[in-house]
């Protein structure tokens, strides 16, 4: 039941929670244009920092789990990892565009991919693996 609810949350975030204004479809193919708009708007005080940080942070975190799970499938194959993540993220951006539930934004692709890559690097360097092992060992000792 919990897994089903988590999946629904992701679907809601990606496809339901935001509707395009006036049924307009928006596309941004210019890298870093949205990020630059956020920076300019923050400097001029047009938006609250919370809005910019939430959008950027959510895009970074959303695909971070892929950096953990995909290396299990593709051991030491960074090209496969990057290709599959790019295809998945691009498909989601395209679906948001088609279903009028967001804009197709290359900055989302960049941030999503960056989040997955950072996690991938941490996993490959065993930073996360060592912390997970320590947590598991502590739980075994408590049982």
**21-46, pLDDT tens digit by residue?**
555 678 889 999 999 999 999 999 99
Alpha-carbon distance 21 to 2, whole Å? 33
- The SS3 of residue 104 is strand
Asked if residue 7 belongs to a domain, the reply is no
Mean per-residue pLDDT, 14-27? 60
Question: pLDDT (tens digit, 9 = 90+) per residue, 66-106?
Answer: 998 888 887 768 888 999 999 999 999 999 888 888 788 99
Cα atoms found within 13 Å of the Cα of residue 39, Cβ hemisphere only: 5
Asked if residue 9 belongs to a domain, the reply is no
In this prediction, residue 109 carries a pLDDT of 96
Length of the chain, in residues: 143
Domain total of the chain: 1
Query: Are 106 and 31 a contacting pair, CB within 8 Å?
Result: yes
pLDDT band at 5 (very low <50, low <70, confident <90, very high): low
Asked if residue 23 belongs to a domain, the reply is no
φ, ψ of residue 27 to 5 degrees: the values are -135, 135
No. of helices (H) and no. of strands (E), the chain: 7, 2
Asked if residue 15 belongs to a domain, the reply is no
Asked if residue 21 belongs to a domain, the reply is no
Asked if residue 138 belongs to a domain, the reply is yes
Cα dihedral sign, 135-137-140-141: negative
Q: Could you tell me which of 91, 99, 108 has the C-alpha nearest to residue 19? A: 99
Domain boundaries, position 100: 28-142
Asked if residue 118 belongs to a domain, the reply is yes
Alpha-carbon distance 118 to 138, whole Å? 26
pLDDT band at 1 (very low <50, low <70, confident <90, very high): very low
Q: Which two tokens stand for residue 101?
A: 């539930």
Asked if residue 19 belongs to a domain, the reply is no
């Amino acid at each position: 039941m919990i897994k089903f609810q988590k999946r629904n949350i992701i679907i809601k975030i990606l496809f339901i929670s935001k509707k395009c204004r006036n049924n307009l479809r928006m596309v941004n193919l210019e890298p870093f244009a949205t990020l630059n708009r956020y920076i300019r708007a923050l400097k001029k005080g047009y938006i609250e920092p919370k809005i910019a940080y939430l959008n950027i942070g959510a895009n970074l975190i959303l695909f971070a789990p892929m950096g953990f799970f995909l290396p299990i499938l593709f051991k030491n194959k960074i090209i496969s990892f990057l290709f599959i993540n790019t295809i998945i993220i691009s498909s989601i951006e395209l679906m948001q565009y088609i279903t009028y539930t967001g804009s197709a934004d290359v900055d989302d692709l960049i941030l999503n991919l960056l989040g997955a890559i950072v996690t991938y690097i941490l996993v490959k360097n065993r930073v996360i693996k060592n912390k997970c092992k320590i947590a598991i060992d502590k739980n075994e000792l408590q049982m």
